[in-house]
Amino acid sequence: MDVILDVLWLVVGILLLVGGGEVLVRGAVSLSKAVGVSTLLIGLTVVAFGTSAPELAVNIVAAYKNQSGISFGNIIGSNIANIGLIVGITALIRPLVCQRSVITREIPLMLVATFAVVAMGLDTKVGGEKDIISRSDGFILLAMFGGFMMYIFAQAMSQRKQTRADAHAKAEAQAAAEAQAAADGDADLVSAMEEEIEETGNLSAGPATLFLLGGLVGVMLGGKLTVDGATGIAAAAGIDEALIGLTVVAIGTSLPELVTSVMAVLRGHTDIAVGNVVGSNIWNLLFIMGVTATVNPVDVPTNGGVPDLIMVTVLSLLLLPFAITGGHTVSRWEGAVALLLYFAYMTWRCLVELGMLPAVVI
Q: Is 96 left (phi over 0), alpha (psi -120 to 50) or beta?
A: beta
Neighbours of 267 (CB within 10 A): 17
Residues 354, 138: contact at Cβ < 8 Å? no
Higher pLDDT, 16 or 316: 316
Locate the domains of the chain by residue range.
2-353
Q: What are 149-168's pLDDT values in tens digits? A: 888 777 767 766 666 666 55
Q: What pLDDT is attached to residue 50?
A: 62
Tallying the residues shown for the chain, one arrives at 362
What number is the average pLDDT over the span 171-184? 48
- For the 2-353 domain, the top CATH level (class) is mainly alpha
pLDDT in tens, 54-100: 778 788 878 877 878 888 998 999 999 999 999 999 999 999 988 88
Residue 80 near residue 309, CB atoms below 8 Å: no
pLDDT computed for residue 204 by the predictor: 81
Q: What does the pLDDT look like over 203-215, one tens digit per residue?
A: 788 888 898 888 8
What's the pLDDT tens digit per position in 302-357? Answer: 878 899 999 999 999 999 999 998 888 999 999 999 999 999 999 998 888 777 88
Sequence-distant (6+) residues with CB within 8 A of 15 are 222
The CA-atom distances, in angstroms, between 28 and each of 106, 192, 216 are 19, 23, 10
**CB of 77 within 8 A of CB of 246?**
yes
Q: Is pLDDT larger for residue 263 or for residue 119?
A: 119
Output the CA angle 66-298-354, nearest 5 degrees: 80
What is the pLDDT, as a whole number, of residue 81?
A: 94
Judged against a pLDDT cut of 80, whether residue 197 lies above it is answered with no
Q: Encode the chain in three state secondary structure.
A: CHHHHHHHHHHHHHHHHHHHHHHHHHHHHHHHHHHCCCHHHHHHHHHHHHHHHHHHHHHHHHHHCCCHHHHHHHHHHHHHHHHHHHHHHHHHHCCEECCHHHHHHHHHHHHHHHHHHHHHHCHHHHCCCCCEECHHHHHHHHHHHHHHHHHHHHHHHHHHHHHHHHHHHHHHHHHHHHHHHHHHCCHHHHHHHHHHHHCCCCCCHHHHHHHHHHHHHHHHHHHHHHHHHHHHHHHHCCCCHHHHHHHHHHHHHHHHHHHHHHHHHHCCCHHHHHHHHHHHHHHHHHHHHHHHHHHCCEECCCCCHHHHHHHHHHHHHHHHHHHHHHHHEECHHHHHHHHHHHHHHHHHHHHHHCCCCCCCCC
pLDDT score, position 174? 54
Predicted model pTM: 0.77
- pLDDT value at position 139? 97
Task: Give whichever of 67-76, 181-190, 248-257 has the largest mean pLDDT.
Answer: 67-76
Residue 179 in this model has a pLDDT that exceeds 70 = no
For the chain, percent of residues with pLDDT exceeding 70: 81
Q: What is the mean pLDDT of the chain?
A: 80
* C-beta separation of 27 from 211 below 8 A: yes
User: Is pLDDT larger for residue 39 or for residue 225?
Assistant: 225
The residue-averaged pLDDT of 171-197 equals 43
Task: Give the pLDDT score at 171.
Answer: 55
335/94 Cα distance (integer angstroms): 10
